[in-house]
Structure 1
């Protein structure tokens, strides 16, 4: 038996050396040198527990290699593409991957999830008591962490550190198993009571907000100015590639008409909460007026209540609100999320003729044409419309069909940079063609368009690092790089008045700006945390935030670090967090009259109870919608 144990643990050590060398060579990522010993120890410990469950050394070896390799490869790929390691929330969001991928990529992803599970079942010694004892010990340990996550999280932070704003740095100083356990304990420790009325009232005073009208109370239709249509176009991965100075493009990929229009706005930028993915977080901010401060998809776990976001607020004034996105309807929980924010209609892939496909993505020109055809009957009735369009064309790997030949060449060896430049060539021109039709058809409309996030241009920030725009790792970022990381083109058109000079604007400030342009002065939560004319603008990101004052002054405030000048913005963000938990996951005290006027006792609502019920409700609603 001792010989078998020696073989089993030696196999873990051999696998570890080969795997770490492999991901360092292929992806340019690996734990830091100081973490190798503790990371190897964690793998050996897990390997020992697995061997206790195994029928034989051979079965253990195969299952161990498959399981460890799947986690290590998946983590390395996420680090290289998006700049951060695997997090506990990624396991919840994994189902969305299957809605996006097709062909070999789909089956490879299925295999990455299914094969390790099958290998563990094949390995397990079903008739041996030691296997069940080992499994029971794992269950007990997980239960203990779940029951006491806060002290476990604090202890792990003391032992291994926590770099709040730099999750890649956390992985590098911990290794993958310790990182996952530490962040899982932190996630569990965040389960807390929804804010009580007093906390919410204090938070409202902190952000300078006034109480809005009671939720669902019929709002008086404002003046004629508010009857103007609103068109919001969210452009998948839309960014200006000319900033890549080392790419050596043969021509400017952006349509000159777009450049002219964008220049009229002062080359304004939207400041997104995400880089390279998680589009739903950019959507949430632009629709609900609150920032996302977590490294997770807010539509998936943070939005559990019906809320008066922009679609519902406009709906109370007689607008018809329609969301269009030619992707699978349930992706990022959009069926339920769109309903919760107030959309009356959601047109997804099954509602469009998929006649202009670039890989799996419907071309923008076809999407725009079909949306306008569907809206035409409503526009003819005179009922005001909130038309929300999220494009799909522009996803990595940036495929083009035969009708879109590659016209832009580049000197760089980075194939993604060249592919992306050609994608932007067509996206910008198809957008401008649509805008010409839309402005002629609806000259008084408010039109808002912006990129949801920057594109991914290769591992470890690839093309950006080549041109010096971003460093390969966040730990090496200058302050300006954090703004670069999230800044996409923003254009707001105020009907016949033309483009609006907004400056660089956090996405959560857009709903308030739209209400201002409409002349809609009704009380609204959409003005709780931001106004378009705010001098100081705050862009939260997971683990840090930066502030902008005017166009030049920028200050980056990193969580866990004492920095002069960050006290006010940090306190403001804490108040915003309280309001966000109350509105989207709690008792919604902020939408009610102050307690001394209500004369009613507030009801405490457990966050987990609200979330649990809503998860079940969302699952039922999703099945109903799919049927």
Structure 2
């Protein structure tokens, strides 16, 4: 009877359940405590946080992740360490990207993250490595490898991911209906969703967009809408003029080159730009290049300048989306007998440039290993040294038997704008923002070294076509700090007026037509530059480089992530995605047609080029990359698609 009324196992079982409940309470309580502290910290120190209406859902999403992870954990202590490291790494990385570039972490950033390790050094490099390695190591240390419950929880996660990958479209539609989608304002999306929901929602959207390559009839419809015709078969050799066959072309892409004199509130002690550049820019009508990016992602500006198509995604096009050999400007000129050189004193594979430069048709690529690094500002080679060494290499070919396409991408001018002892600060600023003064001094030297190079280049090559422009605006502090101070931009994209969208992407542009001097182009999207160069050369061959360019039209369109704006005689019209406005229908249809052609040309069957059967047997031209084994650099293995449609 005693055994029946007092079974010995019951107290132990009850105690075990009580102990388990206490552990769960501790674990989830730690998640809540971490969340409150972390969000308060980034809001106070960085000025970034989810909107108040999103705090509850964001907290619940973190708690849900905590539930799954604690089911895998060996103990509360290990769970606390792993979750603290994991959540902190994601939250800090997202806050920093928001503050510096204006947008949250996106799925494509995980593909591009490897390039960060090529750019950074010292404590910044080790800090970035730690942000990746510590969470992975902590999760492995936390995992209960012998527990069936842990493996069951992991199986649930794998099943959920596989289901999302198999059926992304319905998941994306449901998430958009539940949590909303602010098409043109990704910061606003993060603020109304919170980070975990934002990442899941945008991952579903990315997967849903990976559709089949465009069909031939779709390409024909897009070409008709653009008023374009199919160019000659791919890589058909063009008949050039007798003799040398053309003027040299020099394209100089200037890292973070912009006019800081417009920062009226900064109180700069003098104009940073060289007076000689001011004079040249005035002769060009103070034209501006309209870039696809702000503060970073230089490779997207490069792609537009070389291939004549706009980029409107928050991801680097060279990374996985350029998957076909294409007749971009280097290859198009190469068909007429040009030799092409690309120079950039950064690590050769950064942003997948080895593969990208080969695909667009460059003959030679000189990277950091090919330059004497004798004038370093931090990790960035000074422009004067770069220009001198480029002239030493390319100079003998300027009057040679073949015309030259000389493409130079500078490196000096990167955040946080370091200067060496040969470049002492000469400009002072009243602004408390230290980056403003540092950038002004960088431009002081950058513009003067540019003009010294131009003087020598024009002396040696007076008939050449020279195109120079800034790749994007500089980052001047968290949440557009230096720009907000002078009223040029708002801290949050949702507060932008129409003019701010143009300000966000407009950099100095100068086009020199040989002895005729500077050309007044007006403001031009960067993707219109290749067609302009062909016009200046008198190159009338059919080319895909004219598909998207509208330089001769009254209307010019600048697509950006989730938004585009048009420039015409009537002024500026901003068309925000998801918010139809009168007059935006035609430009929106144009943007979609160009995006479809881009998918076809750069990752699809290339119907727009004609002769698809010929393309399949095409042998790729090898790119000469001195001192670099291109075979050691792999390309992305994304599906043959593009994220723009």
In the alignment, what sits opposite 1:545?
Answer: 564
Assess, with a 3 A threshold, how the Cα gap between structure 1 residues 624 and 563 changes in structure 2: closer, same or farther: closer
In the alignment, what sits opposite 1:500?
Answer: 519
Q: What CA deviation, in whole Å up to 9, does each residue of 1:455-513 have, x standing for no partner? A: 00000001000000000010000000000000000000000000000000000000000
Tell me, in whole angstroms, the C-alpha distance in 2 between the residues paired with 1:16 and 1:527: 51
Confirm or deny that 1:423 pairs with 2:436: no
Tell me, in whole angstroms, the C-alpha distance in 1 between the residues paired with 2:76 and 2:289: 56
Q: Which moved more, 1:384-393 or 1:223-232?
A: 223-232
Match of 2:221 among 202, 215, 218: 202
Q: What CA deviation, in whole Å up to 9, does each residue of 1:133-181 have, x standing for no partner? A: 0000000000000000000000000000000100000000000000000
In the alignment, what sits opposite 1:305?
Answer: 324
Counterparts of residues 115-194 of structure 1 (less than 5 Å): 115-194=134-213
Tell me, in whole angstroms, the C-alpha distance in 2 between the residues paired with 1:206 and 1:375: 41
Counterparts of residues 342-491 of structure 1 (less than 5 Å): 342-491=361-510
Tell me, in whole angstroms, the C-alpha distance in 2 between the residues paired with 1:546 and 1:374: 41
In the alignment, what sits opposite 1:34?
Answer: 53
Could you tell me which runs of 5 or more consecutive residues in structure 2 were left unpaired when the two chains were aligned: 1-19, 617-627, 636-645
Counterpart contact for 1:226–1:520, Cα < 8 Å: no
Larger Rg over CA atoms: 2
Confirm or deny that 1:103 pairs with 2:142: no
Counterpart contact for 1:163–1:169, Cα < 8 Å: yes
Match of 2:586 among 543, 550, 568: 568
Cα drift, residue 379 of structure 1: 2.1
Cα drift, residue 341 of structure 1: 0.3
Match of 2:609 among 575, 591, 600: 591
Assess, with a 3 A threshold, how the Cα gap between structure 1 residues 468 and 116 changes in structure 2: closer, same or farther: same
Counterpart contact for 2:532–2:551, Cα < 8 Å: yes
Confirm or deny that 1:47 pairs with 2:66: yes
Tell me, in whole angstroms, the C-alpha distance in 1 between the residues paired with 2:634 and 2:549: 34
Counterpart contact for 1:291–1:540, Cα < 8 Å: yes
Match of 1:578 among 575, 596, 600: 596
Assess, with a 3 A threshold, how the Cα gap between structure 1 residues 299 and 418 changes in structure 2: closer, same or farther: same
Match of 1:335 among 345, 351, 354: 354
- Secondary structure of 2:319's counterpart equals helix
Cα drift, residue 383 of structure 1: 1.5
Counterparts of residues 194-233 of structure 1 (less than 5 Å): 194-222=213-241, 227-233=246-252
Cα drift, residue 601 of structure 1: 13
In the alignment, what sits opposite 2:574?
Answer: 556
TM-score by length of 1: 0.95
Could you tell me which runs of 5 or more consecutive residues in structure 1 were left unpaired when the two chains were aligned: 604-618
Confirm or deny that 1:9 pairs with 2:24: no
Q: What CA deviation, in whole Å up to 9, does each residue of 1:27-70 have, x standing for no partner? A: 10100000000000000000010000000000000101000000
In the alignment, what sits opposite 1:272?
Answer: 291
Tell me, in whole angstroms, the C-alpha distance in 2 between the residues paired with 1:121 and 1:328: 32
Counterpart contact for 2:349–2:633, Cα < 8 Å: no
Tell me, in whole angstroms, the C-alpha distance in 2 between the residues paired with 1:52 and 1:30: 28
Cα drift, residue 533 of structure 1: 1.7
In the alignment, what sits opposite 1:615?
Answer: none
Counterpart contact for 2:100–2:478, Cα < 8 Å: yes
TM-score by length of 2: 0.92
Tell me, in whole angstroms, the C-alpha distance in 2 between the residues paired with 1:391 and 1:198: 42
Counterpart contact for 2:245–2:337, Cα < 8 Å: no
Match of 2:272 among 249, 253, 273: 253
Tell me, in whole angstroms, the C-alpha distance in 2 between the residues paired with 1:330 and 1:386: 21
Counterpart contact for 1:225–1:518, Cα < 8 Å: no
User: Aligned-pair RMSD on alpha carbons?
Assistant: 1.7
Tell me, in whole angstroms, the C-alpha distance in 1 between the residues paired with 2:401 and 2:358: 24
Tell me, in whole angstroms, the C-alpha distance in 1 between the residues paired with 2:43 and 2:360: 43
Counterpart contact for 1:62–1:119, Cα < 8 Å: yes
| Number of residue equivalences | 605
Q: What CA deviation, in whole Å up to 9, does each residue of 1:580-607 have, x standing for no partner? A: 00000000000006xxxx9x9999xxxx
In the alignment, what sits opposite 2:549?
Answer: 530
Tell me, in whole angstroms, the C-alpha distance in 2 between the residues paired with 1:526 and 1:351: 30
Assess, with a 3 A threshold, how the Cα gap between structure 1 residues 415 and 549 changes in structure 2: closer, same or farther: same
Tell me, in whole angstroms, the C-alpha distance in 1 between the residues paired with 2:480 and 2:239: 49
Cα drift, residue 219 of structure 1: 1.3
Cα drift, residue 620 of structure 1: 9.4
Tell me, in whole angstroms, the C-alpha distance in 1 between the residues paired with 2:190 and 2:242: 55
Tell me, in whole angstroms, the C-alpha distance in 2 between the residues paired with 1:441 and 1:339: 28
Tell me, in whole angstroms, the C-alpha distance in 2 between the residues paired with 1:353 and 1:535: 46
Tell me, in whole angstroms, the C-alpha distance in 2 between the residues paired with 1:312 and 1:532: 21
Cα drift, residue 531 of structure 1: 3.6
Tell me, in whole angstroms, the C-alpha distance in 2 between the residues paired with 1:435 and 1:67: 50
